[in-house]
Amino acid sequence: METDGTAPGYLESRKLVKRWSGPWPALANTLLLAILFYATWWIFQDPRGIMRLYTPYVGYMYCRWLLIILIWVAYIFDFWPFRRGWIGRTHPVVKGLVLTAFSVAVMLLIIEGFFMRVLGDYGISYMSPDRLEAMGITRFYALEYATEAIMMFAVIASWLSPAWVVAVENAPWGKLPQPTRGVTIMLVTFLFSTIVYFLTMHSHMAILFYPWQQYTAITPGYWETFANTVSGNFHIGWIMCCTVTVWLYETIWERYPFNLIQTDWLRRLTAFFGIIAIAVALCFFLYYTQDLVWGETIRGTKRLMAPDWRWLHVGEMAIFWLVPMLFLNFYCGNWPTRFSRPVNVLLRTFITIAAAIVLYVVYYKTAHLFLGVQKGFSHPQQFPMIPTIWLINIMLINMWFMDGWPGWKAVPKTTEELAASHQEIVARDVKWSPALGVGLAVGVVGGVAIYVLVVAVLPWLGQMVTIIEGST
């Protein structure tokens, strides 16, 4: 059952070719995504639908864990235990159904088995809805608390698992055969996720209960003064930005600029910590933009003006960016591609930011009309991360499990194409020169100027533009 660790992974070895010329493949797939999204949303999540998992944490937990499992199946396990031959010859629709069913089964095993039964019954009581209920908490909140904790594991893992593949390039286990490599990386990232969980979310969970569980966790969390809240939402903000930055780096940035570093260990370390640095910068900026638009937070108040919600909204804003990022990469051939890599990267960044702003506005103006969610920005049960990640899950299933069917089909890459794709991991297309240095300096000034301009304009924009009447 083991597979060769030196051969390229399935996703790396295939090339997706359009079935039709022009915009038809993208349009066909967009239509398929829309149908699948709305049908599955209605069946599983919609508060007016069939299973109504959007409570919100129950649905959110499943949504986040499915994302992790998809990443594990495609990126970390390279589709093991499914054979490469089967992956290559099976019809995309059949493959999509089988791999999705497999992912869901693994997800349920991990959630219901490992977290709720093993951890919840024998280790951490707040992971078990039954134990919480037995201690007097209403069933609804027992489920919400437990699923919130389990969901947070997934939030952290959805940053660390792909980061290990994308930034650390699977090192030092990249050449191991499957499933050894997959199991090793899964366990390592799971271990790191556990450590990060205890450092970020355990205190949050401990003060959910009265009195504060001060003998089992630091209460309140060490971040209280810095973040102006005792809520773990502060961590959700920067961790979500880490997740988004990993995919930003992997997709529209084509691993630029860290892939210019030729020394393997230095490139991997720089990429891993560089992603965190970029994410923290993004997190602080998105928080600040909210303060500029809506005014400074009032600690202790609710919703729009609350620091805890603003940190959460940082993550939500970042996810709104991830959707067009993936769409551009998957369905638009990572357009534009005609310029040099840095220019392409910059243009894609601007394009996806603009698209994210449009998506953000459209979502808040219309989501309550068709998703069954609450009108407004900051309702405690308004979690735009659920529908956006639900959509992302479907996009990943479509591209990873179904080879982009119906608009695309997979063909094996030639040796030359495989070598070219290696250029993405270690690039040599941008080299140091005096002109590049001058351009860099001018660009830095330009970047700072753009920042200053945005910061200057946002308060005015906040006064002039009303997305939702009352802006709550």
48 binds another protein (CB under 8 A): yes
Using CB under 8 A, which residues numbered 57 to 116 contact another protein? none
Smallest distance, another protein to C-beta of residue 354, A: 15
Instruction: Please report whether residue 278 would count as binding another protein according to CB under 8 A.
Output: yes
* 49 or 406: CB nearest another protein: 49
Q: What is the DSSP pairing of strand 408-412 with strand 14-18?
A: antiparallel
Copy the structure tokens of residue 14.
């295939």
Given the complex with another protein, which of 22 and 470 has the nearer CB atom? 470
d(CA 111, CA 67): 13
Could you say whether residue 336 binds another protein (CB under 8 A)?
no
Residue 210 in contact with residue 199, Cβ under 8 Å?
no
Residue 421-440 contact track with another protein, rule CB under 8 A, x = bound = ---------x--x-xxxxxx
Q: Where are the beta strands (DSSP E) in 331-463?
A: 408-412
CB 279, min distance to another protein, A: 10
Determine, following the binding rule CB under 8 A, whether residue 443 of this chain makes contact with another protein. Answer: yes
Residue 306 binds another protein, judged by CB under 8 A: yes
Q: Please tell me whether residue 284 binds another protein under the rule CB under 8 A.
A: yes
Question: Restricting to residues 143-182, which ones interact with another protein according to CB under 8 A?
Answer: 143-144
Q: How far is the CB of 444 from another protein (least distance, A)?
A: 4
The CA distances from residue 275 to 45, 81, 87, 385, in Å, are 32, 31, 32, 21
467 touches another protein (CB under 8 A): no
Q: Which parts of 345-374 interact with another protein (CB under 8 A)? A: 345-346, 349, 372-374
Distance, in Å, from the CA atom of 373 to the CA atom of 46, rounded to the nearest integer, reads 8
Residue of 31, 35, 108, 281 interacting with another protein (CB under 8 A): 281
Query: Whole-number minimum distance, CB 50 to another protein, in Å?
Result: 9
Contact in structure between 205 and 149 (CB atoms under 8 Å): yes
- When asked if residue 134 is in the footprint of another protein (CB under 8 A), the reply is no
- Contact with another protein (CB under 8 A): which of 262, 263, 337, 340? 340
Task: Please classify residue 424 by burial: count the beta carbons closer than 10 Å to its beta carbon, then call 0-12 exposed, 13-18 middle and 19+ buried.
Answer: middle
Rounded to a whole number of angstroms, the distance between the first and last alpha carbons of the chain is: 55
Return the sign of the alpha-carbon dihedral for residues 221, 223, 224, 227: negative
CA 436-441-445 angle, to 5 degrees, is 140
C-alpha Rg value of the chain to the nearest Å: 22
Is the separation of the CB atoms in 282 and 311 below 8 Å? no
Instruction: By CB under 8 A, name the one of 308, 322, 360, 391 that touches another protein.
Output: 308
Helix 385-396 to helix 341-370 angle (10° resolution) is 120
Shortest separation between residue 147's beta carbon and another protein, angstroms: 12
Residues within window 195-234 making contact with another protein, judged by CB under 8 A:
204, 207-210, 220, 229-233
Between 3 and 203, CB nearer to another protein? 203
Going through 33-178 in order, the beta strands assigned E by DSSP cover none
Helix axes 139-166, 264-294, angle to 10 degrees: 140
Size of the site for another protein (CB under 8 A): 90
Q: Please give the Cα distance from 472 to 470 (Å, whole number).
A: 6
Write down the least CB distance from residue 294 to another protein, Å. 11
Considering only residues 235 through 264, tell me which ones interact with another protein, judged by CB under 8 A.
Answer: 257
If one asks whether residue 393 binds another protein (CB under 8 A), the answer comes out as no
Q: How far is the CB of 328 from another protein (least distance, A)?
A: 17
